[in-house]
Amino acid sequence: MNELMSRPEITADNARFVASPIPVAVHIVSVTVYSLLGALQFVPLLRRGRHNWHRIAGRILVPAGALVALTGLWMNFFYPRPPGDGESLVIVRLVVGLAMLASILLAVVAIRRRDFSSHGAWKTRGYAIALGAGTQVFTMLPWVVVFGPIGAGDELPRTLLMTAGWIINLGVAEYIIRRRPTHRLNRTAAGMGHPRVMDALVACRGVRQSLSGTRR
């Protein structure tokens, strides 16, 4: 960002950003807001104890996340490709960008229906996709250490290693989602085949917690 705001020396690595700085600048700002503020949304104290905070932060995160995905898609199609970026990586980025947009949209739809379990699941998936670039540092590092910087002839390894970063993040996200109590209650309710079972289980859980507190 500092490089774009100054008058940088144009190189092969930054020429596309210097020629069209607005998309990458918006991407950097929005992904910074989304990653930092989004992390706080997962803090239990802030999520449960301060509903206004969670709601206000969510209204900032939705447009920020949409900008992350949209600017990423714009750069994917309109910026000149650096060495190592082939057609396969363009397709992967298209799928990932659309998946992030869909996750944000489905999270909004779920919260408007007051489906808190689905809302949490979709926002977790969207956040995991957004953090893919961080994981890609670790998936690509062994290749760089062993074989050197990725060049024009390494399109397939680059695609596989970058895709691995998103897959790892989504795998961790699904693991977290399935370990949440609300997800387990949803599966129990679905297995018992009654639309009111979920409400009954949640109520019973609350009663048990109240009784436990009273006994103490």
Question: How many domains does the chain divide into?
Answer: 1
pLDDT (0 to 100) of residue 193: 47
The DSSP call for residue 43 is -
Is 195 part of any domain? no
The answer to whether residue 185 is domain-embedded is no
Q: Which of 11, 4, 159, 17 is nearest to 88 (CA)?
A: 159
Q: How many whole angstroms separate alpha carbon 29 and alpha carbon 68? A: 9
* Contact assessment for residue 82 and residue 150, using Cβ atoms and an 8 Å cutoff: no
97 assigned to some structural domain = yes
Task: Give the whole-angstrom CA distance, residue 132 versus residue 129.
Answer: 5
- Specify the pLDDT at position 142: 92
- Cα gap 54→153, rounded to integer Å: 46
How far apart are alpha carbons 151 and 13 in whole angstroms?
12
Distance CA 121, CA 111 (A): 11
- 189 in a structural domain: no
> Which helix (H) or strand (E) element contains residue 78?
helix 51-78
In a domain, 214, yes or no: no
Q: What are the φ/ψ torsions at residue 154 (nearest 5 degrees)?
A: -110, 35
Question: What is the pTM assigned to this prediction?
Answer: 0.77
Query: What is the number of helices (H) and of strands (E) in the chain?
Result: 11, 0
Is 200 inside any structural domain?
no
Q: Is residue 40 part of a domain?
A: yes
Q: Which domain holds residue 64?
A: 2-179
Residue 25 is predicted with a pLDDT of: 92
Note whether residue 197 is domain-resident. no
List the chain residues with pLDDT less than 70: 1-9, 11-14, 47-51, 182-216
